[in-house]
Structure 1
């Protein structure tokens, strides 16, 4: 059957017909043409984008009610021109705005007016720029108060625009990092009082109230005792490639940037993210997005709410109360959000079906990369996720989602508890042959519950996880994953190397994990390969035929319904050679990671 083809080019015009010779200028014009063609499809509708940066003035929204779905068994395909060939177009869909009007001062700083923008990310000459930061905390002796902090140094009083300051607390729980805004700074020659923004500071004190027992002390934990890092102030602009935003005048903000040696004012392009959503979809079906680079989107959540109160994975507190969780067996307690909010993504699809995202690059994004929620039959295949403030891929309460052959690295650059891949209470989800490396916490997270079952975590390669926070692992699973081994989670053939921070587990089954089979995996250079004693305890978990370089604690006395059998401990020093010498080990190594690539 004949296909219908439209073309989009930055050099086109929206009043042209969208042909190869006379392409549309914008995705919106192409989408309007697609909607007119989907009612009586006799073939696929294909929209090809020519090379260039396509700046989006507004989010590109796909909705079944608007005619964005395929019909009659055919698909709507948006793609880079020549997708899958040697001449594939390089297509960037950007939610950013180029910043102009720069001036430079005697101190070498560039400054430009940016209106009401408050960017948390910046792209300069195609490279990410970081917020200016002080990494040695507050100066002097610091005391936490009911409203903030007091220090015996006057230095903070000289920091301009204190209400733009954000304090960062890595390890506020070992697996969490909080961000809290400053309200004001005052003081005299001998001391400084720092008042934190409310209600975020009081909420943080409630959330991060915990006690650990059996640690040799009284078990109290105060992750808010003092911030470790301070961000976004002109006083901290000492490193090239960093920026700060002054918000002294409402609606008349100023961007300050310390250039790198090879950057030149007026010639080096500076882009600030503006849109919070690049792509969204609601109930759309039979849709394909392939070959795009999604860039320069933001998320203003911490600015709106006075902070980022992270709990675990993508969950945070934004509203509501708190629930006290007893960890059992005298281990202590923690508090969790009673109504946890999830980190959004700059590309999100809800209640969709038969949708494929293939061969895309998600980069320079200020929230999560991709969120799939309440969806059915979705393929997330051969994409790349990097330089993302939050998580790479998140799948929530969905059925038959395949996350395969993706590369995820250097995510969680701002929200460091974010996982590379997250699956929440989903059914028949496959996470297979992905490569995940250089992430700040867990590589893959699978959270269970009443709905979860039949999750397959197969032949992934996870390296250098847990780069910033503690108490996690290369692959992390929690809560029940079904109601039997047959319908539970299968974790098979994965390779986990170099779990970096202290107190970590290569394969981590936690928090009442149940109905999980951990079969034929390789773990090398973690604190310990697995954990057998957690609170609430493990039930119906089997660790069989794995290779690791240390004997887990309690291996000979596992919990009653936990099976450990046929696992092999090899020398840490000669592990790689030793595991390759075993046919089963060599096979696991050969299969792990993205397919079609030499390992």
Structure 2
């Protein structure tokens, strides 16, 4: 069947026909040509991009109503030129804008006017720059008040532009991290008063109202007692490779950047993200995106709402009421958002079908990387996700989504409760042969519910999870996962190493987990490999044929419908050698992680 081919190049022109020798210049021009061809397809329509950075002025949006779908059994394919060959083009689809007009201040920092921009991320010569931060919290003796904080230190009064300050609260719940904006700073010769932005501060006090009675304590808990980290102020701009935005004059912001060694003013590329969405799709089908780098996008949610009130996974509070969750008289209580809002993603596909994303790189993104919602038959294969503020991959309320052979690392750089891979109330989802490492909280999260069934979490390699927050695991599952073992979740052949913070579990079946089979996995160097007592209690969960380096609490007396059988405890000191020497352990190790790689 004949294919239709179009070409795009930074050296092209949108007035040309999009042929190999006269290519288009922009994705939008190519998309217009594709739309004119899809109704009468007799073969795939392929759009090839040559090497270059394509800066998007607006999101690249795909919709079935706009003739973006394949037809007659054929696909629309957008790809890097030479896809799958040694000569594959390096193609960036960027939502960023290069910052110019730099000058050097007396202290060696660079400054540039940026209008009304207030970037939370910055890319300098292709590398992320960090927001200027003070990592040891507020100075002095700090007291929380109804409207903020008082300290006996006068130092904060010298911090310029306090309205740009953001306070960070890791562990506001053990599994959560909050961000809250400052409204003003005032004081006298003996103390400083810090007033927080409203209504975010009052909402945070309601959301994080909790009591914990563990270990015989009195229940006192105040995750908002004082911030641990302070971000975005010129007073903190001391480290090379950091930046701050001064927002004293509305619409006349100034970007300050302290250069790294070797960086030269007006020769170094500095890019600020502009777009909140790079790629969106709704209702589209038979579409392939492969070989691209999606980069330099932002998310302004915390600036719009005065903070980021995280609860769990990608869920946060933004509006509505709070629900009190009683954990029992001997445990305590917490509050949760009654109407939780999910973290968005910079690449988002909704109600799509037969869509593939293959061998792409999602990087330097200010929200989540990829969100798939209400979709069917989606393939997320062999992509890389890194340097992302939120989660890597999120799948919501979808059916037959394959998340396979991806590499996800250094995500959750700003919103640290974000998991590397999140699946929420979906059916027949496969999360297989992925490699996940160096993430701040959970590696893989599978949240069940009424429509969840048939999820398979198979042969993933998860290393160095739980790097910042507590009460999570390398692989985490909660809520009902089906209506029987046959139709429930299967967690098989995964290797989990180095679950880092305290109070963690290698394989964590939590909060009413039901109908889960945990079969033939390896857990090494976690606080404990599994947990058997949770609230609400787990039911119909089987742990069979696993290898770990410690005997879980309650192993000999599991809950009535929980099966624990045929598992092997190996010594911590010689665990690697011992598990390799066992034929079953060696098979698990050989199959875990991305396929087709030499190890």
- What range is the shorter-chain TM-score in? over 0.9
Instruction: Give the corresponding residue for 1:24.
Output: 24
Q: Distance in 1 between matches of 2:364 and 2:160?
A: 28
- Distance in 1, matches of 2:179 and 2:148, equals 13
Q: Deviating runs (4+, > 6 A) in structure 1?
A: none
Map 1:393-412 → 2, pairs under 5 A: 393-412=393-412
1:479·1:513 contact (CA, 8 Å) conserved in 2? yes
Match runs of 1:189-208 below 5 Å: 189-208=189-208
Deviates most, 119-128 or 320-329? 320-329
Alignment correspondent of 2:290: 290
What is the distance in 2 between the residues matched to 1:354 and 1:376? Answer: 7
SS in 1 for 2:74: coil
**Is the Cα–Cα contact under 8 Å of residues 52 and 92 in structure 1 kept in the other structure?**
yes
Tell me the CA shift for residue 329 of structure 1: 6.3
Aligned to 2:144: 144
Q: CA deviation at 1:210?
A: 1.0
Query: Which deviations, in whole Å up to 9, do the C-alpha atoms of 1:146-205 show, x marking residues without a partner?
Result: 000000011101100000000000000000000000000000010000000000000000
In 2, Cα distance between the equivalents of 1:146 and 1:214? 27
Q: Would the aligned equivalents of 1:96 and 1:296 in 2 still touch at CA under 8 Å?
A: yes
- TM-score, normalized by length of structure 1? 1.00
Secondary structure in 1 aligned to 2:29?
helix
Q: Residue 592 of structure 1 aligns with which residue?
A: 592
- Count of residues in correspondence between the two structures: 599
2:474 corresponds to 1:477: no
CA drift of 1:328 comes to: 3.3
Distance 1:337 1:519 in 2: 34
Question: 1:74 is matched with which residue?
Answer: 74
Distance 2:78 2:413 in 1: 29
Task: Give the equivalent residue in structure 1 for 2:418.
Answer: 418
What's the CA shift for 1:254? 0.5
Correspondence for 2:52 = 52
Distance in 1, Cα, partners of 2:347 & 2:436: 20
Which runs of structure 2 are paired with 1:383-532 in the superposition (5 Å)? 383-532=383-532
Contact 1:491 1:517 in 2 (8 A): yes
* Cα distance in 2 between the residues matched to 1:337 and 1:428: 28
Per the alignment, residue 362 of structure 1 pairs with 362
Partners of 1:168 and 1:227 within 8 A in 2: yes
What is the CA distance between 1:212 and its match in structure 2? 1.4
Q: What's the counterpart of residue 243 of structure 1?
A: 243
- 8 Å CA contact retained: 1:329, 1:535: no
Deviation at 1:72, TM superposition (A): 0.1
| RMSD (Å) for aligned C-alpha atoms | 0.6
Over residues 44-74 of structure 1, what are the superposed CA-to-partner deviations in whole Å (9 max), with x where a residue is unaligned?
Answer: 0000000000000100000000000000000
CA distance in structure 2 between the aligned counterparts of 1:133 and 1:589, rounded to whole angstroms? 40
Alignment match, 1:185: 185
Q: Once the two structures are superposed, what CA deviation does each residue of 1:370-393 show, in whole Å capped at 9, x if it has no partner? A: 000000000000000000000000
TM-score (norm 2): 1.00
Instruction: Report the alpha carbon displacement of residue 425 of structure 1 after superposing the two structures with TM.
Output: 0.2
Q: Which runs of 5+ in 2 are unaligned?
A: none
TM superposition shift of 1:330: 2.9
Equivalences for residues 571-582 of structure 1 within 5 A: 571-582=571-582
The answer as to whether partners of 1:328 and 1:536 remain within 8 angstroms in 2 is no
TM-fit CA distance, 1:580: 0.6
Compute the displacement of 1:105 (Å): 1.1
Give yes or no for contact 1:63–1:283 (8 Å, CA) kept in 2.
yes
**Aligned ranges 1:209-224 → 2 under 5 Å:** 209-224=209-224
User: What SS is found at the alignment partner of 1:201?
Assistant: helix
Aligned counterpart, 2:102: 102
Q: Deviations over 1:386-427 (max 9, x none)?
A: 000000000000000000000000000000000000000000
TM alignment of 1:261-272, pairs within 5 A: 261-272=261-272
Q: Tell me how far 1:215 sits from its aligned partner.
A: 2.2
Q: Distance in 2 between matches of 1:81 and 1:189?
A: 65
Q: 2 CA distance for matches of 1:314 and 1:221?
A: 23
Q: What is the aligned partner in structure 2 of residue 537 from structure 1? A: 537
Distance across 2 between alignment mates of 1:9 and 1:328: 62
Partners of 2:427 and 2:330 lie apart in 1 by 34
Could you tell me how far apart the structure 2 residues matched to 1:462 and 1:326 are?
Answer: 32
Structure 2 distance, partners of 1:111, 1:350, is 40
Mapped partners of 1:102, 1:79: distance in 2: 36
Question: Once the 2 structures are TM-superposed, how far is the Cα of residue 216 of structure 1 from its aligned partner?
Answer: 2.4
Q: How does 1:561-576 map to 2 (within 5 A)?
A: 561-576=561-576
**CA-CA distance at 1:214 after TM superposition:** 2.7
| Aligned match of 1:351 | 351
Shift in Å at residue 332 of structure 1? 1.5
Q: Find the aligned partners of 1:330 and 1:539 in 2 and give their Cα distance.
A: 22
The answer as to whether partners of 1:94 and 1:294 remain within 8 angstroms in 2 is: yes
2:127 is matched with 127
For residue 333 of structure 1, report the CA deviation from its aligned partner: 1.1
Q: Secondary structure at the match of 2:216?
A: coil
**Aligned position for 1:159:** 159
Whether 1:116 and 2:109 are equivalent positions in the alignment is: no
